[in-house]
Amino acid sequence: TGLNLKNPDLFRQAALVGGTWIAASDADIAVTNPATGTVLGYVPNLGAAETQQAIDAAEVAQKAWAARTAKDRSNVLRRWFDLMMAHQDDLGRILTFEQGKPLAEATGEIGYGASFIEWFSEEARRAYGDITPTNAPDKRILCVKQPIGVTAAITPWNFPNAMIARKAAPAFAAGCAMVLKPSELTPFSAIAMAVLAEEAGVPSGLFSVITGDAATIGGVLTSSPVVRKLTFTGSTGVGAKLYAQSAPTIKKLGLELGGNAPFIVFDDADLDAAVDGAILSKFRNNGQTCVCANRIYVQAGVYDAFAKKLAAKVKGLPVGNGADDGVVFGPLINDAAVAKVSSHIADATGKGAVVTLGGKPHALGGTFYEPTILTGVTSDMAVASEETFGPVAPLFKFDTEAEVIAAANDTEFGLASYFYSRDIARVWRVSEALEYGMVGVNTGHVSTTEAPFGGVKSSGLGREGARQGLDDFMEIKYICMGGI
Ligand code: ADP
């Protein structure tokens, strides 16, 4: 496979079910390296019985875990964080080999993922309750926070480590257990995290990682009355389905779904900074993140200058196998991703947009694609309403602030948004007017463990990271103490 890990045990072709490792065989699920098209390894094809087994074990382990002190849970998380950082290079290599992103981005993701474990190891000790002034002299009003219980997580392939870390860390900090189904495209990063979690002292059964048919495993997780919360990151379509499946058991839901991020450049912006921010936001992970700029709106006065500067900077950025030095654009995840990118470009050019950079599959073949810039993009094109999830920067021209706010909000989604302006009054007005869970002002990068990540409208429910991220894994219990 060419992985060459310092610690080969981190690459385990096995799933962890209720404290027991189940090994894969060649007849199980193959995981492919998107840069080479070769099989990286196999993970077990598990189903309903193993999922139920994991839930049963989680139910037992959770009670003992919740009974331990917050400081004790914090120490285990801290060790998990330390181990992730100690193995950052190996974890980054596994991630690049199954997902495709360049090694620098992959090791960066390990650091980002680990930062959630560090943060929640700290937050574990700060799950404060309240004592409220009473309504009656013989009573006292107390509120305590308690873990939700057994939780389930279903995660995507674009951040195979960080999407798990920011769910599992607050869950364990709060005193919950978790049964995880990672993406079938990138299970090895999840499995490596479980290897290190065991080593850190996460008790047997508290954390299961199940691989197999998504709908079968998802069906058992959502219908189980023992599972009290489902946390999902992925497409809005699957999220809505899981929401419906969770209704009969009235589960709590954490949903991080699709986005369609606007990136607005006003005439008064620092244009060079806006170009750098657009590259960071648009092209990170080759455009395959839910907070990637999907629609770039540039005010008429600076439109041509912005388009020129953007093309000059993106042109020549190296495309290739993410494991090779200096590569900035890895492959797309699979053929379906390539088809979507191609169809968005064809639709836009068919309706009058102009390709000013790239515009076709890369000469390297496979799922490599040329970073692409489109000018003359209008609201009737597919790129205006659908998430492209690829390296395509469509530039829309606008005239007024009111017009661009209306355009930016004209979507079912509401995850991340960005704008560049140096006018302080406009910064306030536009920040307040954008119907999004997150607004980046004069920056193309907002994600960090200290801040609440999440969306509104069809982009989801709940927040991850920050202190709110811990609250999402806790229930508030009101105790009315009478007879005083
Ligand atoms: P993406 O477009 O990012 O692949 P998906 O929503 O298809 O988004 O996948 C995100 C996660 O949801 C993956 O782990 C996938 O296996 C899982 N998944 C897909 N379909 C289902 C389903 N019907 N039930 C449960 N999980 C599913």
**168 vs 473: CA distance, rounded Å:** 10
Q: Alpha carbon of 317 to those of 7, 23, 277, 297, 357: distances in Å?
A: 32, 41, 16, 23, 12
Full-model pTM: 0.98
For the stretch 332-391, pLDDT in tens is: 999 999 999 999 999 999 999 999 999 999 999 999 999 999 999 999 999 999 999 999
* β pairing state of 140-147 and 150-154: unpaired
The rounded percent of the chain whose pLDDT value lies above 90 is 99
> Which of 179, 238, 415 to mutate for ligand 1's pocket (most ligand atoms within 8 Å of CB)?
238
Q: Which two tokens stand for residue 75?
A: 């120490």
Q: Give the pLDDT mean for 449-478.
A: 98
**256 vs 246: CA distance, rounded Å:** 16
**Which residue, by CA, sits nearest to atom 14 of ligand 1?**
183
124-143 burial, b at 16+ Cβ within 10 Å, e below that, comes to beebeeeeeeeeeeeeeeee
Residues with CB under 6 A from ligand 1: 154-157, 181, 183-184, 214-215, 218, 234-235, 238, 241-242
Instruction: Catalogue the active-site residues.
Output: 256
Q: Give the pLDDT mean for 307-327.
A: 96
> Which of 183, 184, 260, 386 to mutate for ligand 1's pocket (most ligand atoms within 8 Å of CB)?
183
For the stretch 165-177, pLDDT in tens is: 999 999 999 999 9
For the stretch 377-388, pLDDT in tens is: 999 999 999 999
Q: What is the pLDDT of residue 230?
A: 98
Give the model's confidence band at 58: pLDDT under 50 very low, under 70 low, under 90 confident, else very high.
very high
Q: Which two tokens stand for residue 205?
A: 């059964």
Q: What is the pLDDT of residue 287?
A: 95
Atom of ligand 1 nearest to the CA of 217: 25
The interface predicted TM-score of the complex, written ipTM, equals 0.98
Give the model's confidence band at 1: pLDDT under 50 very low, under 70 low, under 90 confident, else very high.
confident
